[in-house]
Chain A
Amino acid sequence: MLKAVILIGGPQKGTRFRPLSLDIPKPLFPVAGVPLIQHHIEACAALENLKEILLIGFYPIAQIQTFIDDMQKQYNVAIKYLQEFTALGTAGSLYHFRDQIRCGNPDAFFIFVLILLLQELYKFHKEQTSKFQSKACVTIVGTEATRQQSLNYGCIVTNKDTHEVSHYVEKPNSYVSTLISCGIYIFSLDIFQIIGETFNTKQQEYYRNENGNGNKEAGFIQLEKEIFPQLSGTGKMYAFQLNNWWSQLKTAGSAIYANRHYLELYRINHPERLYTLKGEGDCTIIPDVHINPTASIDPTAVLGPNVSIGPGVVVGPGVRIKESIILANAVIEERSLVLHSIIGRGSRVGRWARVEGTPSDPDPNKPFAKMENPPLFNSDGRLNPSITILGCSVTVPSETILLNTIVLPNKELTRSIKNEIIL
């Protein structure tokens, strides 16, 4: 029997995902028309012998419960949300809920740190777990990155023949390895012994007032900083190299990039989620496009590629949408153009408006390049060109242009805006 644990963080996390995470928890943000963690749940539910999915995070239960109920109904698997009383770190939260995870005595469990997106994980798992399980305490999924970008991730050094991890370091200052951690782990239950030792050491330090954890909770333990480095080189940690597409979803800008890849995956996994033309009176589609069935699209509109349209959205005559996500109940009035942008829930774009952003997709000419997550501002204090994002209930007046602009929720704009953040 297998279990999966998905670490979803909490409201204090995902700040770089603002303003999209201001009104909806980041794990529930729809990518390719489906909440982000539903993609993970779906991948897990497809695994043979997987009996339970545990979501661990510190969002208030009220924000997550409806989603959990929906998922239970959709996928025939037990799903529970375990709310941390405070941020405990990746290892700390696993340890805190160890009884829940151990319950039923699973052979192994998966961990997903929410920021990741994955592809066909189940295939890999089936082949790999049996091979490593006898000896391995943890298997970590790695992928190639560029030398420069590897510094932003957990770096893994392996023995090429045995795949054993000989060294692990989180976000090093200098180059260590181009094999980086994807944030997908497979643990055997022995891991709790190892986390437990660290936990006890920390508790003792805490009560002796040797507070090595700063202001953080005594139980705050990070897998990546405290557990993996000590496991590496002991023969208990292995790495599996994933050659498929993988990306983090850290900044709002990466949502469009992720959207494109999930839409592409739908061609194989969920062709029914891609919009197919129904004939007479239909709008023009340039694949791939996802349209929620409750959205209303004028026949003269042209959508795609890489467009997701949420429920209740209204798209008027002569509208053009490309490389964008339109969230629930937004209205795009006639003749407008939306490019490389995310339109928030219930926002309204007036007619002949132009809403345009600048994509920051990985450099296609660099092998293994990952999505860049540039900071909002460059070293001169100027806003880096980004995708354009409208928070929820933003009104864009007719005939204006929004270029590389981020608008926080509930704003009624009155003019054209370029390269600005509107509070």
Chain B
Amino acid sequence: MKEDGLRALILVGGYGTRLRPLTLSRPKPLVEFANKPILLHQIEALVDAGVTEVILAVSYRAEQMEQELTEEANKLGINIIFSHESEPLGTAGPLALAKDILVKSTKPFFVLNSDIICDFPFRELAKFHASHGKEGTIVVTRVEEPSKYGVVVYDKENCISSFIEKPQEFISNKINAGLYILNPSVLSRIELRPTSIEKEVFPSIAADRHLYAFELQGFWMDVGQPKDFLTGMCLYLKHLRTSNPAKLYKGCGVVGNVLVDPTAKIGTNCQIGPNVIIGPGVVIEDGVCIKRSTILEGVTIRSNSWLESCIIGWRCSVGRWVRMEGITVLGEDVIVKDETYINGGQVLPHKNIAASVPEPQIIM
């Protein structure tokens, strides 16, 4: 490991209940977004920016995740450390828990919420942070409806003056994007107890005029729940269209931005897209139409079916003339019988669906 490498702490947190039923089979950081585990999008971007040690703050033990990520870390030539909380410590507590590791270097470190997908600008962030020389920098992103979020207020020099939760009157359209770079000195402000970095730590740094805002260009999404997962997928694919169009699929019957794993098979007379991601080993039979959906590894979709706004879990089998829509999420190994209709169904793993589910519902 390089001595001068940077460190990052990723707030993985709990069980990922918002992304159930997918997270019943696989820890959330390993659920594939655009055919790659969510966490790997972040780790690879961090490695590009010179990070050599990643601390994952988790509040539960997940051996599957530790093993898979250790393998990935070896491939990338970095070190991954799992920092286990015995009780949930909020968004700031995990920093105090990992203090010993973080203070080994005087260099600033990155902190990330684990559900964020964007075009991670870690290099530019580090450069900006160095330029103002203060304790911390928060990445902010622009939203259309700021009243639903906590907004960040800052001056022309980007020095943050205050945070306002769910403002009734328009104050700012910039919100905390869940990506930070902090000096180790910040750790002296955090106690080892359940505490919130957004509500307790940042306001106190801002009060000392030591917190700056870095404006994110391009797309941003918290993909921690199915609806946002699909929205994030669309934004990601749109970004891919400009940043790396060669990666997008160009087969017959493709509409718009579509990503297909090379090991997937697609039949004739299909209409795939816009905004579809198809995982490894997937088999799409003839005459299938898929829009705005993610199909995970090993799924079979039989002929003449129609899917929109779905996440289809690993190794599911979808019958012929099936219609699925309305943010339907199938857990692992679900079988959907021919000619059924599922609207907004959340289906737990290993279920057999023989009758239609016309209204949104959880199928145990």
Residues of A within 8 A of B (CB): 317-318, 320, 322, 334-335, 337, 339, 352, 354, 356, 399, 401, 403, 418
Q: Is B187 an interface residue (CB 8 A)?
A: no
Known contacts A339-B339, A352-B306, A399-B306; decide if A334 and B321 are in contact (CB<8 Å): no
- What is the distance, in angstroms, from B258's C-beta to the closest C-beta of chain A? 17
- Please list the 3 inter-chain residue pairs (A to B) with the smallest Cβ-Cβ separation, ordered nearest first: A318-B287, A318-B304, A335-B304
Q: CA of A418 to CA of B306 in the docked complex: distance in angstroms?
A: 17
Max count, chain B CB within 10 A of own CB: residue among A317, A335, A399: A335
B287 contacts across to A, CB distance below 8 A: 317-318, 334-335
- What is the distance, in angstroms, from B355's C-beta to the closest C-beta of chain A? 12
- Contact indicator A335/B339 (Cβ below 8 Å): no
Q: CA of A317 to CA of B286 in the docked complex: distance in angstroms?
A: 11
- Contact indicator B269/A318 (Cβ below 8 Å): yes
Contacts of B294-311 to chain A: CB distance below 8 A:
303-304, 306, 308
Residues of B within 8 A of A (CB): 269, 271, 286-287, 289, 303-304, 306, 308, 320-321, 323, 325, 339, 341, 356, 358
- Contact indicator A337/B289 (Cβ below 8 Å): no
Known contacts A335-B287, A399-B289, A401-B341; decide if A318 and B303 are in contact (CB<8 Å): yes
B289 contacts across to A, CB distance below 8 A: 335, 352, 399
- Contact indicator A337/B358 (Cβ below 8 Å): no
- Contact indicator A320/B320 (Cβ below 8 Å): yes
Q: CA of A322 to CA of B321 in the docked complex: distance in angstroms?
A: 12
Q: CA of A423 to CA of B72 in the docked complex: distance in angstroms?
A: 60
- Contact indicator B358/A354 (Cβ below 8 Å): no
- Contact indicator B306/A354 (Cβ below 8 Å): yes
A401 contacts across to B, CB distance below 8 A: 323, 325, 341
A418 contacts across to B, CB distance below 8 A: 358
Max count, chain A CB within 10 A of own CB: residue among B269, B303, B306, B341: B306
- What is the distance, in angstroms, from B138's C-beta to the closest C-beta of chain A? 43
Which B residue sits closest to A354, measured CB to CB?
A: B323
Which B residue sits closest to A338, measured CB to CB?
A: B321
- Contact indicator B341/A318 (Cβ below 8 Å): no
Which B residue sits closest to A301, measured CB to CB?
A: B304
B320 contacts across to A, CB distance below 8 A: 320
Q: CA of A334 to CA of B321 in the docked complex: distance in angstroms?
A: 11
Q: CA of A328 to CA of B269 in the docked complex: distance in angstroms?
A: 28
Which A residue sits closest to B323, measured CB to CB?
A: A354
Selected from B271, B303, B341, the residue in CB contact (under 8 A) with A356 is: B341
Which A residue sits closest to B358, measured CB to CB?
A: A403
- What is the distance, in angstroms, from B303's C-beta to the closest C-beta of chain A? 6
- What is the distance, in angstroms, from B293's C-beta to the closest C-beta of chain A? 13
- Contact indicator A335/B306 (Cβ below 8 Å): yes
Which B residue sits closest to A322, measured CB to CB?
A: B339
B356 contacts across to A, CB distance below 8 A: 356
Selected from B286, B339, B358, the residue in CB contact (under 8 A) with A318 is: B286
5 A-B contacts (beta carbon < 8 Å): A318-B303, A320-B339, A337-B304, A352-B304, A403-B341
A318 contacts across to B, CB distance below 8 A: 269, 286-287, 303-304
Which B residue sits closest to A401, measured CB to CB?
A: B323
- What is the distance, in angstroms, from B269's C-beta to the closest C-beta of chain A? 7
B308 contacts across to A, CB distance below 8 A: 399
Which A residue sits closest to B308, measured CB to CB?
A: A399
Max count, chain B CB within 10 A of own CB: residue among A317, A320, A352, A399: A352
Q: CA of A352 to CA of B291 in the docked complex: distance in angstroms?
A: 12
A334 contacts across to B, CB distance below 8 A: 269, 287
- What is the distance, in angstroms, from B84's C-beta to the closest C-beta of chain A? 47
- What is the distance, in angstroms, from A307's C-beta to the closest C-beta of chain B? 14
Q: CA of A352 to CA of B287 in the docked complex: distance in angstroms?
A: 9
A320 contacts across to B, CB distance below 8 A: 304, 320-321, 339
- Contact indicator A317/B323 (Cβ below 8 Å): no
A318-B286, A354-B341, A403-B341 given; 9 more Cβ-contact pairs under 8 Å: A318-B269, A320-B304, A320-B321, A334-B287, A335-B289, A335-B304, A339-B339, A356-B341, A401-B341
- Contact indicator A337/B269 (Cβ below 8 Å): no
Q: CA of A354 to CA of B289 in the docked complex: distance in angstroms?
A: 13
Q: CA of A418 to CA of B289 in the docked complex: distance in angstroms?
A: 21
Q: CA of A180 to CA of B356 in the docked complex: distance in angstroms?
A: 37
A354 contacts across to B, CB distance below 8 A: 306, 321, 323, 341
A337 contacts across to B, CB distance below 8 A: 304, 321, 323, 339
Which A residue sits closest to B303, measured CB to CB?
A: A318
- What is the distance, in angstroms, from B64's C-beta to the closest C-beta of chain A? 38
Q: CA of A399 to CA of B289 in the docked complex: distance in angstroms?
A: 9
Q: CA of A59 to CA of B222 in the docked complex: distance in angstroms?
A: 66
Which A residue sits closest to B356, measured CB to CB?
A: A356
Q: CA of A335 to CA of B267 in the docked complex: distance in angstroms?
A: 14
Q: CA of A317 to CA of B288 in the docked complex: distance in angstroms?
A: 12
- What is the distance, in angstroms, from B90's C-beta to the closest C-beta of chain A? 43
Q: CA of A399 to CA of B305 in the docked complex: distance in angstroms?
A: 10
- What is the distance, in angstroms, from B187's C-beta to the closest C-beta of chain A? 54
Q: CA of A200 to CA of B195 in the docked complex: distance in angstroms?
A: 97
- What is the distance, in angstroms, from A286's C-beta to the closest C-beta of chain B? 12
- What is the distance, in angstroms, from B256's C-beta to the closest C-beta of chain A? 15
Q: CA of A408 to CA of B173 in the docked complex: distance in angstroms?
A: 48
Q: CA of A401 to CA of B356 in the docked complex: distance in angstroms?
A: 13
B271 contacts across to A, CB distance below 8 A: 352
A317 contacts across to B, CB distance below 8 A: 269, 287
- What is the distance, in angstroms, from B352's C-beta to the closest C-beta of chain A? 20
- What is the distance, in angstroms, from A110's C-beta to the closest C-beta of chain B? 43
Q: CA of A250 to CA of B44 in the docked complex: distance in angstroms?
A: 68
Q: CA of A59 to CA of B271 in the docked complex: distance in angstroms?
A: 49
Q: CA of A339 to CA of B321 in the docked complex: distance in angstroms?
A: 11
Q: CA of A399 to CA of B306 in the docked complex: distance in angstroms?
A: 8
- What is the distance, in angstroms, from B272's C-beta to the closest C-beta of chain A? 13
Which B residue sits closest to A320, measured CB to CB?
A: B321
A335 contacts across to B, CB distance below 8 A: 269, 287, 289, 304, 306, 321
Q: CA of A354 to CA of B323 in the docked complex: distance in angstroms?
A: 8
Q: CA of A352 to CA of B271 in the docked complex: distance in angstroms?
A: 10
Q: CA of A334 to CA of B358 in the docked complex: distance in angstroms?
A: 23
Q: CA of A317 to CA of B270 in the docked complex: distance in angstroms?
A: 12
A356 contacts across to B, CB distance below 8 A: 341, 356
Q: CA of A403 to CA of B300 in the docked complex: distance in angstroms?
A: 26
Which A residue sits closest to B270, measured CB to CB?
A: A335
Which B residue sits closest to A398, measured CB to CB?
A: B289
Q: CA of A418 to CA of B344 in the docked complex: distance in angstroms?
A: 14
- What is the distance, in angstroms, from A87's C-beta to the closest C-beta of chain B? 41
Q: CA of A262 to CA of B327 in the docked complex: distance in angstroms?
A: 42
Q: CA of A356 to CA of B286 in the docked complex: distance in angstroms?
A: 22
Q: CA of A352 to CA of B304 in the docked complex: distance in angstroms?
A: 7
- What is the distance, in angstroms, from A356's C-beta to the closest C-beta of chain B? 7
B325 contacts across to A, CB distance below 8 A: 401
Q: CA of A377 to CA of B360 in the docked complex: distance in angstroms?
A: 23
Q: CA of A401 to CA of B344 in the docked complex: distance in angstroms?
A: 14
